[in-house]
């Protein structure tokens, strides 16, 4: 079993619920992460909030699982970006992340099998450790593109390289 740790530190005083500082610092090994509550909850918009990290964790896990599966299947991915979005709402009487939508933009090497690449999206979701750990529905709406094939290199002597 792998174990992961985070150290959180907050200082201040909770004398007034409207004005106490929502700023805190999280240490993840060598990385210091300044955090706060979301701006709608009196947080500092210049700091990361837990809801963003929730979406980011799902996005990163989906990406890393997908990239692993693609490599294993021989599908060459040359670029992967995602514009994930989480919706915080009251659901079943509790405030929670009610839904997350991931929108990966996956660029494949020219000639890659798009059908297999598409199948891997669902397989990656099924294998994503983080998605398997949450009850929030996660929708994935992938967009695929192909990298342009590289043009033949020009020779330095001005010839095209063609015989004949």
Q: Confirm if 66 and 120 have CB atoms less than 8 A apart.
A: yes
**Confidence at residue 163, expressed as pLDDT on a 0 to 100 scale:** 47
**Confidence at residue 151, expressed as pLDDT on a 0 to 100 scale:** 64
CA distance 62 to 104: 9
Mean pLDDT, residues 14-20: 93
- Quote the distance between the C-alpha of residue 55 and its chain's center: 7
The side-by-side arrangement of strands in the sheet containing 143-146 is 77-82, 104-108, 143-146
CA distance 8 to 152: 54
Residue 78: φ, ψ to 5°: -105, -10
153, pLDDT greater than 90: no
CA distance 61 to 57: 6
Closest CA to 104 of 75, 125, 87: 125
Span 36-84, pLDDT tens digits: 999 999 999 999 999 999 999 999 999 999 999 999 999 999 999 999 9
Span 76-132, pLDDT tens digits: 999 999 999 999 999 999 999 999 999 999 999 999 999 999 999 999 999 999 999
């Amino acid at each position: 079993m792998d174990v992961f740790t985070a150290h959180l530190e907050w200082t201040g005083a909770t004398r007034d619920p409207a004005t106490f500082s929502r700023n805190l610092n999280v240490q993840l090994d060598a990385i210091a992460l300044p955090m706060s509550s979301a701006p709608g909850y009196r947080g500092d918009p210049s700091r990361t909030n837990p809801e963003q990290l929730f979406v980011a964790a799902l996005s990163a896990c989906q990406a890393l699982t997908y990239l692993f599966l693609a490599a294993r299947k021989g599908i060459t991915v040359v670029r992967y970006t995602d514009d994930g979005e989480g919706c915080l709402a009251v659901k079943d009487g509790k405030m929670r992340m009610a839904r997350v939508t991931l929108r990966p933009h996956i660029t494949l090497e020219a000639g890659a099998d798009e059908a297999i690449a598409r199948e891997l999206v669902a397989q990656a979701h099924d294998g994503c450790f983080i998605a398997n750990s949450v009850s929030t529905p996660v929708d994935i709406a992938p967009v695929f593109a192909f990298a342009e094939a590289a043009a033949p290199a020009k020779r330095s002597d001005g010839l095209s390289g063609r015989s004949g």
